[in-house]
Amino acid sequence: MSDQTTPQDPTTQHPAPEQPAQPLEHPGRTGDMRQQPDHGEDTYVGSGRLDGKRALVTGGDSGIGRAVALAFAREGADVALVYLPEEEPDARETVRLVEEAGRRALALPGDIRDEAFCGEVVARTVADLGGLDVLVNNAAYQMAQDGGLLDLTTEQLDRTMKTNVYALFWITRAALPHLAPGSTIINTTSVQAFQPSPPLIDYAATKAAILNFTKALAQQVAEQGIRVNAVAPGPIWTPLIPATMPTEKVEEFGGDTPLGRAGQPAELAPAYVFLASQESSYITGEYIAATGGRIVG
């Protein structure tokens, strides 16, 4: 497999539909997927852009979070990972990848719907890694409801809002006192913030909220020398997809993009590295869209 510097046709660089029709029990585990996502294990080559940084990544066990943790570690950062306890097998693999890169990995299992736990993960990161320089709010919950709003239960709405929005506020609020000038916050929004899918009405609403949170907070903390940006993924192949979407949607996932396929987590990690590094020093309150050609904004 070629590294990320080798020119390739982006339409054929990774698998195109049909993906395996393989329903997974939520939250889904990477090891159970017949078509494994690419997190950059064999391709990402670091260049020291995050040397000495201490990063906290929520949802760091798999998917985009794993790719970001791996890339950060290969760029020289120590990484704390937040994940649900049932995702422990995936988290152990991410820890292995970070440590294999020669960096420290801090595993923080728990549920970010708990406000107290959100404060604890920041405190543990600061205590164990010696500080905090980069916060990546990436964890999210989604569950498609083809029946529309009438099928959306208050229980699901509450879980989606608390995981995607409340936790973002709680973790960021706890982190701010520890962030020095030059620190960065990166939030994961989505193409859903711009082009909401009806079956994901609650999830799409939270991703729009995250985008606005990013823009507002960036203005609040700019004078402190803290930058706040976001990445807006399109359809990305992770365990979340077969664990939360109908089989027929999984099979065709990503096929309606101009590039004709789903993206891989490894294709997003460089955007997070850029926003975490000093190379993006004059960028704040913005987002990078990685959507396979879908027009957003």
Residue 234 lies in a domain: yes
Residue 213 lies in a domain: yes
Quote the CA–CA distance of 75 and 4 in Å, as a whole number.
Answer: 14
Q: Where are the alpha helices (DSSP H) in the chain?
A: 63-74, 88-100, 115-129, 154-161, 167-175, 201-221, 240-244, 247-251, 269-276
CATH of the domain at 246: 3.40.50.720
Domain ranges, residue 150: 40-290
Q: Residue 283 to residues 56, 211, 217: CA-CA distances in angstroms?
A: 20, 15, 13
Residue 297 lies in a domain: no
Q: How many CB atoms lie within 10 A of CB 43?
A: 17
Which pTM was predicted? Answer: 0.91
The yes-or-no answer on residue 203 being catalytic is yes
What pLDDT does 31 receive? 67
Tell me the two tokens of residue 195: 């082009």
Residue 175 lies in a domain: yes
Q: How many CB atoms lie within 10 A of CB 36?
A: 13
Count how many domains the chain has.
1
pLDDT in tens, 233-260: 998 877 767 776 677 777 777 778 888 9
Question: From the candidates 44, 141, 203, 272, which is the catalytic residue?
Answer: 203
Quote the CA–CA distance of 60 and 68 in Å, as a whole number.
Answer: 8
Residue 23 lies in a domain: no
DSSP 163: I
Tell me the one-letter amino acid at 290: A
What pLDDT does 148 receive? 85
Residue 171 lies in a domain: yes
Residue 240 lies in a domain: yes
pLDDT in tens, 149-192: 999 999 999 999 999 999 999 999 999 999 999 999 999 999 99
Quote the CA–CA distance of 118 and 140 in Å, as a whole number.
Answer: 14
Over the chain (297 residues), what is each successive 10-residue block's mean pLDDT? 72 77 69 74 94 98 96 98 96 98 98 98 98 98 90 97 98 98 98 95 98 98 98 84 72 82 92 98 97 87
Render 98-115 in DSSP notation, one character per residue: HHHTT--EEEEES-TTSH
Q: What is the biggest distance separating any 2 CA atoms in the chain, rounded to whole angstroms?
A: 50
Residue 18 lies in a domain: no
What pLDDT does 1 receive? 43
